[in-house]
Amino acid sequence: MKILIPTPLRQYADKKEAIEVSGATVGEALSNLTSRYSDLKKHLYNDEGKLRAFVNVYLNDEDIRYLNKEQTAVKDGDTLAIVPSIAGGIL
Amino acid sequence: MLRLSQSDYDQLRRHGEETYPHECCGVLLGQATDSSREVRAVVRAGNTRLDSLHNRYNIDPGELVRIQRQARERNLDIVGFYHSHPDHPARWSSTDFAEAHWIGCSYVITSVEKGKAAITNSFVLAGSMEEDKKFEDEQIEVVRGA
């Protein structure tokens, strides 16, 4: 399966926009990604080992928070997208 | 440096006028080097902060996934975002800063005063990670005739 790397994090993944990884779940796939590119880990995870609140992970077109989070099963041909939040405002 | 065509510049400003008195938001697609970003397309996005449209914006990450997919088909990257400040200066707020996470990307803000786009400023989110990020003023170069 493929993991799409957002612009800000490509410098930590050999400047690639997409990385092929294996894994049976979202968690395994992300773990394989950060094993291969260890500098990515601190950008994706907090000190407690949880995904940072502003890091959204989509399996194809679905937010994994509404599936089975990192236990969500994945299969060949799936695409994971790492999408940092974008928000703001006057106040 | 953020470089964009007159047409794209006008488009992102016009979006703020159309959504006034609410904040508009959108995505800038293009290509980036280490020191500059060149916009090739401006893509409007929905503001999901229906509870506070006049002073908050949020782009649904799912919409961003779709925009990113379309960008890849056009061999473009996400190089920044834009939003408007209705009757408020075109400078980043503490909320803008707290909610900014796309390091290396441009954040364009347009002040819309009484329904008319006034000043447009751009800020690049500098730093190496969330803990040392900072906004830096960024020059906008509008390419006329492009």
What digits encode the pLDDT tens for the residues A8-63? 999 999 999 999 999 999 999 999 999 999 999 999 999 999 999 999 999 999 99
- Is A39 within 8 Å of chain B by CB? no
Residue in chain B closest to A56 (alpha carbons) equals B61
- pLDDT mean by block of 10 residues, chain B; 146 residues: 97 98 98 92 97 97 96 96 98 98 97 98 96 97 84
Domains of chain A: 2-84 (3.10.20.30)
Chain A residues whose CB is inside 8 A of the B25 CB are 86
pLDDT of A66 = 97
pLDDT of B82 = 98
Count how many domains chain B has. Answer: 1
Tell me which of A10, A39, A56, A86 to substitute to probe the interface with B (most B C-beta atoms closer than 10 Å).
A86
A contact residues 41-80, partner B, Cβ 8 Å cutoff = 42-43, 52, 54, 56, 58, 61-63
pLDDT of B35 = 86
A55-58 contacts: CB < 8 A, separation 24 or more? A55/A82, A55/A83, A55/A84, A55/A85, A56/A82, A56/A83, A56/A84, A56/A85, A56/B61, A57/A26, A57/A30, A57/A81, A57/A82, A57/A83, A58/A83, A58/B61, A58/B62, A58/B65
* Domain, as residue range, for B118: 2-143
Among B115, B119, B87, B91, which Cα is nearest to B20's? B115
Whether complex ipTM tops 0.90: yes
Q: What is the CATH number of the domain that holds B90?
A: 3.40.140.10
